[in-house]
């Protein structure tokens, strides 16, 4: 039995018009094809500028779809009108890298969380309880509701952003480098929170990161992007430990590992790879 994937991206092309003399648009994504299954984490790795965020933005309806199609639960969502798109926001949510710019600095955390609930038609009294439950779900104290975003640490702010993404009980969350701004131990705790929430709610993640170690930790399957294309897509462990594509191999060699012996072996292999001149990653 094959279930319809939650999200399907078919031959997606994204082009941006550029100002100035050059009239021809810039093609940022070429022929992207992937799917995200229910309850799954699909990791998306690649170097800076490879198009990871653009793909996430296309799924969110924030980047122009020039060719191809994006489907959610079997229904085409690329090219939806504003109203239909807004209706979809209960199903598809987002967590960005920098919760400072994505959370309204003038609103208390309680109001930040109550707003999407009100939009979703939840009555005030019930919303108060839901805010408490949401704070609990991301392991923040109940009194966090009275505080402003700037009164939290980076890791706590990201927990607020996650709570906000969870308000409407989405089926998919696009996570764009959600732990990249955090120090390593905070990263690990927030990643564990993502996993815990997924196990409890069955939400799927399209999880963007430039860091193979992060993706290895969280993703069931991994897609590797290089210059606007997907060069490899497969089982998370396989892609992050024995990748096939030379670009992914280089990315793997560049990703730090905590074990110094393994580190030394990697360094040796990196030298070897450098002398054989494969791929284009740094």
The helix (H) or strand (E) run that includes residue 259 is none
Which is nearer to ligand ATP, 163 or 212 (by Cβ)?
A: 212
Query: Can you read off the two tokens belonging to residue 144?
Result: 């966090």
Q: Contact at 8 Å (CB) between 78 and 241? A: no
Closest contact distance (angstroms) between CB of 123 and Mg ion is 38
Q: Which of these segments, 34-42, 46-54, 114-122, 235-243, binds Mg ion (CB under 5 A)?
A: 46-54
CB of 17 to ligand ATP, least distance (A): 8
Q: Which residue, 57 or 71, is less far from ligand ATP as judged by CB?
A: 57
Closest contact distance (angstroms) between CB of 143 and Mg ion is: 34
**Beta strands in the chain, from DSSP E residues, in sequence order:** 7-16, 26-36, 41-45, 67-72, 75-76, 92-95, 172-176, 204-208, 221-226, 229-235
Q: Do residues 175 and 204 lie in contact, with contact meaning Cβ atoms separated by under 8 Å? A: no
Who contacts 219 (Cβ-Cβ below 8 Å, separation ≥6)?
Answer: 41, 42, 43, 207, 236, 240
> Shortest gap between Cβ of 59 and ligand ATP (angstroms)?
12
Residue 159 CA to residue 58 CA, distance in Å, equals: 24
Residue labelled with tokens 């939650």: 6
**Of Mg ion, ligand ATP, none, which one does residue 248 interact with (CB within 5 to 8 Å by kind)?**
none
Among ligand ATP, Mg ion, none, what binds residue 54 when CB lies within 5 to 8 Å by partner kind? ligand ATP
Q: Minimal distance in Å, beta carbon 48 to Mg ion? A: 7
With CB under 5 to 8 Å by kind, the binding choice for 16 among Mg ion, ligand ATP, none is ligand ATP
Residues ≥6 apart with Cβ < 8 Å to 255 = 211, 212, 213
Q: Are 169 and 201 in contact (CB under 8 A)?
A: yes
At its nearest, how many Å lie between ligand ATP and the CB of residue 65? 14
Distance CA(253)–CA(77), nearest Å, equals 37
Q: Which stretch binds Mg ion (CB under 5 A): 48-56, 74-82, 112-120, 164-172?
A: 48-56
User: Which part of the chain contacts Mg ion (CB under 5 A), choosing from 52-60, 88-96, 155-163, 238-246?
Assistant: 52-60
Could you say which of 41, 50, 53, 248 contacts Mg ion (CB under 5 A)?
53
Residues 6+ apart with CB under 8 A from 242: none
Placement of tokens 């793909």 in the chain: 55
List of residues contacting ligand ATP (CB under 6 A): 16, 26, 28, 46, 48-54, 210
Q: Does 41 bind Mg ion (CB under 5 A)?
A: no
Q: Cα 98–94–114 angle (5° rounding)?
A: 90
Tell me how far, at minimum, the Cβ of 158 lies from ligand ATP, in Å.
Answer: 17
Pick the closer one to ligand ATP by CB: 46 or 170: 46
Where along the sequence are the contacts to Mg ion (CB under 5 A)? Answer: 53
């Amino acid at each position: 039995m094959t279930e319809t994937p939650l999200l399907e991206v078919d031959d997606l092309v994204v082009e941006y018009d550029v100002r100035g003399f050059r009239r021809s648009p810039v093609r940022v994504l070429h022929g992207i094809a992937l799917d995200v299954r229910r309850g799954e984490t699909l990791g998306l790795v690649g170097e800076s500028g490879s198009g990871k965020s653009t793909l996430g933005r296309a799924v969110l309806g924030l980047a122009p779809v020039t060719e191809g199609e994006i489907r959610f639960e079997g229904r085409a969502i690329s090219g939806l009108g504003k109203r239909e798109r807004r209706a979809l926001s209960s199903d598809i949510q987002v967590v960005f890298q920098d919760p400072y710019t994505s959370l309204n600095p003038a609103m208390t955390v309680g109001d930040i969380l109550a707003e999407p609930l009100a939009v979703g038609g939840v009555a005030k009294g019930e919303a108060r309880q839901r805010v408490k439950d949401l704070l609990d779900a991301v392991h923040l104290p109940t009194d966090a509701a009275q505080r402003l975003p700037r009164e939290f640490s980076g890791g706590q702010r990201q927990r607020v952003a996650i709570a906000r993404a969870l308000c409407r009980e989405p089926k998919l969350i696009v996570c764009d480098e959600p732990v990249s701004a955090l120090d390593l131990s905070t990263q690990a705790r927030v990643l564990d929170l993502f996993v815990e929430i997924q196990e409890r709610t069955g939400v799927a993640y399209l999880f963007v990161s430039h860091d193979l170690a992060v993706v290895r930790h969280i993703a069931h399957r991994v897609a590797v992007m290089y210059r606007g294309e997907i060069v490899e897509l497969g089982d998370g462990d396989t892609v992050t430990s024995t990748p096939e594509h030379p670009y992914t191999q280089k990315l793997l060699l560049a990703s730090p590992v905590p074990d110094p012996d393994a580190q030394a072996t990697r360094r040796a292999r990196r030298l070897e790879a450098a002398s054989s001149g494969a791929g284009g990653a740094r």
